[in-house]
C-alpha cells in the first residue's frame, strides 16, 4: 500500500492518499496570498480534503489476489 498514486502507476498494488494535484493547487493559492502581502503566520493551516484510492489490477493479477468488488467500486481509478 502506497500513499501516492504514482507508485501504483509504476507497478504497485494499491494507494490511498491525498490527491497531490489538489494539494499543489491549494498551495498555489497560499503563494498568491503571500505575494500579495499576506503574512504567512496569518494564514490558516489546512488539512487535505481530497483523497483518492487507486488500484492496479495488473499487479493484483500477478500476485494472484482477488480484490473485493466493494473496494473496486470505491476506487477513484483502476489501472488495468
Residue 18: the pLDDT is: 92
- pLDDT of 30 over the 90 cut: yes
Tens digits of residue pLDDT in 31-46: 999 999 999 999 999 8
Q: What percent of the chain has pLDDT over 90?
A: 82
pTM to 2 decimal places: 0.78
Q: Identify any residues that bridge with 54 across adjacent strands, giving them in sequence order.
A: 15, 77
> Given the C-alpha cell 481530497, which residue does it identify?
50
Q: Look up residue 30 and give its three cell numbers.
A: 497560499
Question: With bands split at pLDDT 50, 70 and 90, how would you rate the model's confidence at 55?
Answer: very high
Amino acid at each position: 500500500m502506497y500513499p501516492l498514486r504514482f507508485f501504483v502507476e509504476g507497478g504497485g498494488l494499491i494507494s490511498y492518499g491525498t490527491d497531490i494535484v489538489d494539494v499543489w493547487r491549494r498551495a498555489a493559492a497560499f503563494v498568491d496570498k503571500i505575494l500579495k502581502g499576506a503574512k504567512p503566520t496569518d494564514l490558516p493551516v489546512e488539512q487535505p480534503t481530497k483523497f483518492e484510492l487507486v488500484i492496479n489490477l495488473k499487479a493484483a493479477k500477478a500476485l494472484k489476489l482477488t480484490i473485493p468488488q466493494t473496494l473496486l467500486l470505491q476506487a477513484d481509478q483502476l489501472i488495468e
